[in-house]
Amino acid sequence: MKKKRLVLLGAPGVGKGTQAKELEKHLSLTHISSGDMLREAVRSQSRLGLRVQEYLIKGDLVPDELMMSLVAERLKTKECAGGFVLDGYPRTVNQARALDEILIKRNLRLTDVVLLEISRREVIRRLSMRYTCDACGKIIKSEENEEGQKCPNCGNRLKRRSDDEPQTIEHRLDVYEELTRPLIEFYQETGIMHQVNGMGTVRQVFQRILTALNLKKPET
């Protein structure tokens, strides 16, 4: 199989993380999640990690050049040589251009960009089903109202994340759409972008991604 170097795009709640894990499991691609990468950098207390920490502590966005250094470091690793799926990066056209440059220096380029799409109503429905435990960080997805219920992990009370309140979700989506539109247009012009319907089960969506990538369903 030809090595795949993918970017997964889509609104919050669309299931990028879940599908990236499927791609990792079935196609042996390395899953690079921007969130995990930042957390790992901080944990490692490396030179870059310490700089990341300064921003995260203040609640500020990590600047492009720092993010780019992290991505470049990660893409150099042996495990990424077999192909990768980026989830949560790039978020802007500048980052997308920077990513291209990182790859070109290594004589590589992205093979595909997958844009997962679900309706705005479904995004709101999915995000408002998330409850978290402040004590242990567990996230529960539930159609029932779990506010104030006990965390199955540690017994602390669950709460709805403040940024998952319906009004906040609407706002987050507006911001997301405004920021991402240019990025989507950028990738549309490259001719490697596939728009994939993100509604349905994890398996259904994964199957659609494989079809878009011209891959057969892997043996399980």
Candidate ranges 18-26, 89-97, 144-152, 191-199; the one touching Zn ion (CB under 5 A):
144-152
Q: Are 79 and 30 in contact (CB under 8 A)?
A: yes
Sign of CA dihedral 119, 165, 170, 206: negative
Are 85 and 23 a contacting pair, CB within 8 Å?
Answer: yes
Residue 139 touches Zn ion, criterion: CB under 5 A: no
d(CA 97, CA 107) in angstroms, rounded, equals 15
Q: How far is CA 192 from the centre of its chain?
A: 18
Catalytic residue (choose from 3, 39, 51, 130): 130
Question: Per CB under 5 A, does 134 bind Zn ion?
Answer: no
156's CB contacts (< 8 A; 6+ apart) are 133, 134, 135, 136, 150
Tokens of 185: 């247009």
Binding-site member from 104, 136, 179, 202 for Zn ion (CB under 5 A): 136
Q: Is 16 among the catalytic positions?
A: yes
Any contact of residue 80 with Zn ion (CB under 5 A)? no
Q: Which amino acid is at 34?
A: S
Count of residues interacting with Zn ion (CB under 5 A): 8
Cα 170 off chain centre by: 19
Among 52, 127, 133, 210, binds Zn ion (CB under 5 A): 133
Smallest distance, Zn ion to C-beta of residue 150, A: 8
Q: Is 180 exposed, middle or buried (0-12, 13-18, 19+ CB in 10 A)?
A: middle
Which distant-in-sequence residues (6+ apart) come within 8 Å of 178 by Cβ?
none
Q: Is the Cβ of residue 156 or residue 204 nearer to Zn ion in the bound state?
A: 156
91 is catalytic: yes
Minimal distance, residue 144 CB to Zn ion, in Å: 17
Least distance in angstroms from the C-beta of 149 to Zn ion: 11
Residue number, 91 or 161, with CB nearest to Zn ion? 161
82 to 41, 86, 123: CA distances (angstroms): 22, 13, 32
Binding segment (CB under 5 A) for Zn ion, from list 48-56, 61-69, 124-132, 147-155: 147-155
From the CB of 38, what's the least distance to Zn ion, in Å?
A: 22
Specify whether 21 is catalytic: no
Residues that bind Zn ion (CB under 5 A): 133, 135-136, 138, 151, 153-154, 156
Residues classed as catalytic: 16, 91, 130, 161, 172
